[in-house]
Amino acid sequence: MCGICGIYNFGTKEPADGAALKRAADAMAHRGPDDEGFYLDGELGLGNRRLSIIDLPGGHQPISNEDGSLWITFNGEIYNYRELRPGLEARGHRFKTSSDTETIVHLYEEYGTACLAHLRGMFAFAIWDKRAKRLFLARDRVGIKPVFYRSEPGRLVFASELRALRALIEPPLEIDPQAVYDFFGFRYIPAPHTFYRGVEKLLPGHYLVADARGVSITPYWDVPPEEAATRPADEYAEEVVAHLRESVRLRLIADVPLGVFLSGGTDSSAVVAFMAELGARPLRTFSVGFAEQRFSELPYARRVAERFSTEHRELLLRPQDMAEDLARLIAFRDEPVAEPTDVALYRIARLAAESVKVVLAGEGGDELFVGYPKYAADRLAGFVSALPQEVTSALARWLPYRQRRVKLALETLAIRDEAERSATWFASFSREEREALFSPDFLRQVDVAHPARVFEQQLEKVRDRSPLKRMLYADLKIWLPDNLLLRGDQMTMAASIEERVPFLDHKLVELAARIPSPLLTRGFRTKALLRRALAPYLSPETLRRRKVGFTVPIGLWFRQSLKSFVADVVLSPEAKGRGYFNPAAMERFVREHFDGVRDRQKQLWALVNFELWCRQKSGSRR
């Protein structure tokens, strides 16, 4: 696990700025506290910060092939590198290290860009082909590892983090109004966009080539369709277990201690179960909870830890932790923090870092095996949206505050357009709320339909698939990489540890995609097939638990201990005077939440984070 950065002046032929590469590497020293390295070749420069996981003494980067004609800077892990190496050696390739990084160089030497088909893992890397004067930049299939870049006439710069990329770009960077608008819809910025004009994220499953002809981007992988003929459910369940077990086994490869983020839910508990079965010892687990018992999953995590005899550690997240960490994490991300859970993840990563360098997590299980209630609820969209709008509106108003989730679901199901409904399920602000929040002058600068358009683009690619498979596809392409996986990468790397996600091994992703929709759920019960598959390994209590989600009691804190913090930030003269918002709407959202009229925690979280980010930008030279 590392941080990568690079400069390629393919058009201007100006020498790459080594001092700028050093500044970029320093900006992400937390990603690689163990080592740093640089390679300069005229107009090309590569940088690397290394967190040593495999081949601790020999994996210094950038690494070259035998004759120095190819150089790589790499972030991630290739789990099948040991299987790949003998075949490469048989073809005459000579290795000078035992690292997975060097395997990629020789694969590229043998297969060119088709090397990506051979890789099993998580990665973002750049290879400099010295003879062809070509830079090859690639990202893993589902987007576990991020890479940001800026392409200008005759010049390309890239880095693992926005804060590092900004060290490679002459200021000032302009904030993109459309990205601001989209943040208050999605809670994050969907790829390829970022908050800055001209700065983009390389899409998952894509690679970029830069040479004298310019910059081109090519997709190399996609999610397969479901199988037409249905095999017995037990047959699929056996395949899921076999793939997941193998995926966990591969992710135990490391020369450093490992642990697990354990919530007590199905996915993370399954990871613990297979680690125990595979003999991983010591088996260390880490959980985070809250003093507010109805939000805390610690009792469930403890029972799983006891069942598998793990070395278990816990922490309680407090409101003051949130207030203390928020500005720091915004600086790490160089963006507003999308979710309150980011703070909890950062805290538990710091706890884990005291004893391990690698953690496994259950991320991805919901998007593969239908874990979110919205997947089941969306079946009702046709019925609810057919009702007169005044009926659904009246029903939503009638529901009491404690039924806020049902209220939100009802309002979302009433949306007839599939893309608009998909964009609303996890949104901070609905489209109507965004149009009330923003000032008329600001709204004239943006496309108010853009969030729905982002989903429409993905849904259109799989128009011939079932409604459930379309939802899963869109979430795998948008929600998962641009929110959950980016969060996992940045919050764990902020604590200088590596997160591995067994559910997102691409072979398991492809298997889940091929399973026919009717087998994935049972009635309105989520994860039916996965629970069936895991029945021999997990307790009935763990398997029967309804989906809770990692929920921080931010709504409660915003009405109690963090009330003044929210008011001081959101209702400050600076926030009201930035020109983005309608101050009356800001005050209404705050008042409704404080008075318990409506749950506005998602809206207030977005407003707090955006204002703190704006303050950091105004106080920064870049």
Pick left, alpha or beta for residue 214 (phi over 0 → left; psi -120 to 50 → alpha; otherwise beta). Answer: left
- Structure token digits, residue 613: 């980010």
* 391 Cβ neighbours under 8 A, 6+ residues apart: none
- Structure token digits, residue 198: 């001209």
* 194 Cβ neighbours under 8 A, 6+ residues apart: 148, 162, 176, 179, 200, 201, 335
Strands 155-159 and 2-8 come out as: antiparallel
| Beta carbons of 140 and 76 less than 8 angstroms apart | yes
Beta partners for residue 121, in sequence order: 78
Catalytic residue among 2, 5, 115, 614: 2
Q: How many CA atoms lie within 13 A of 407 on its CB side?
A: 15
Catalytic annotation present for 115: no
Strands 44-50 and 35-41 come out as: antiparallel
Please tell me the distance from the alpha carbon of residue 87 to that of residue 85, in angstroms, as a whole number: 6
Alpha helices in 12-159 (DSSP H): 18-27, 81-90, 100-111
The angle subtended at Cα 268 by Cα 267 and Cα 272, nearest 5°, is 120
| Beta carbons of 329 and 491 less than 8 angstroms apart | yes
3-state SS of 17-38?
A: CHHHHHHHHHHCHHHCECEEEE
3-state SS of 503-537?
A: HHCHHHHHHHHHCCHHHHCECCECCHHHHHHHCCC
Cβ count near 92 (within 10 Å): 10
| Beta carbons of 502 and 360 less than 8 angstroms apart | yes
The angle subtended at Cα 243 by Cα 241 and Cα 244, nearest 5°, is 65
Q: Considering only CA atoms, which of 119, 126, 120, 177 is closest in space to residue 147?
A: 126
Catalytic residue positions, numbered: 2
